[in-house]
Amino acid sequence: MRETQHILVSREATIRAQQKKERHNQQGVDMRNKWVEKQNLLKNPVNMVDALTSVRTSNVTIPQSLSRYQGTTLYNPATPRTGR
């Protein structure tokens, strides 16, 4: 028998623990509902060939300051800035 089994817990502490458990359960229910509500990819299939083609033709890149921070400028040279 453990000695902690005979420790009395205040009513407020018991209420807080119960509220925490209920909040945890409600968050789980909410997360499951969000997962179910997400768009089903089978209803709207993505054509990967078209998606890859649009990515390859896009000229959108990450900002140069971010690429320097991440270290990708070591592998990809910086492009000259266009006039703004």
Q: How far apart are CA 29 and CA 43, in angstroms?
A: 24
> Mind listing the pLDDT tens digit for each residue in 19-78?
999 999 999 999 888 776 666 656 667 788 888 888 788 776 767 677 666 665 555 566
Question: Could you give the number of structural domains in the chain?
Answer: 1
Higher pLDDT, 21 or 6: 21
Is residue 38 domain-resident?
yes
For residue 63, which of 54, 55, 72 has the smallest C-alpha distance? Answer: 72
Is residue 31 domain-resident?
yes
Asked whether residue 14 carries a pLDDT value surpassing 90, the answer given is: yes
pTM: 0.38
What pLDDT score does 78 carry? Answer: 60
For residue 72, which of 84, 61, 59, 83 has the smallest C-alpha distance? Answer: 61
Is residue 79 domain-resident?
no
Is residue 53 domain-resident?
yes
List the domain range (segments joined by +) for residue 38: 9-74
Residue type, 41: L
What pLDDT score does 26 carry? Answer: 96
What pLDDT score does 31 carry? Answer: 87
Contacts of 78 (CB under 8 A, 6+ apart): 64, 67, 68
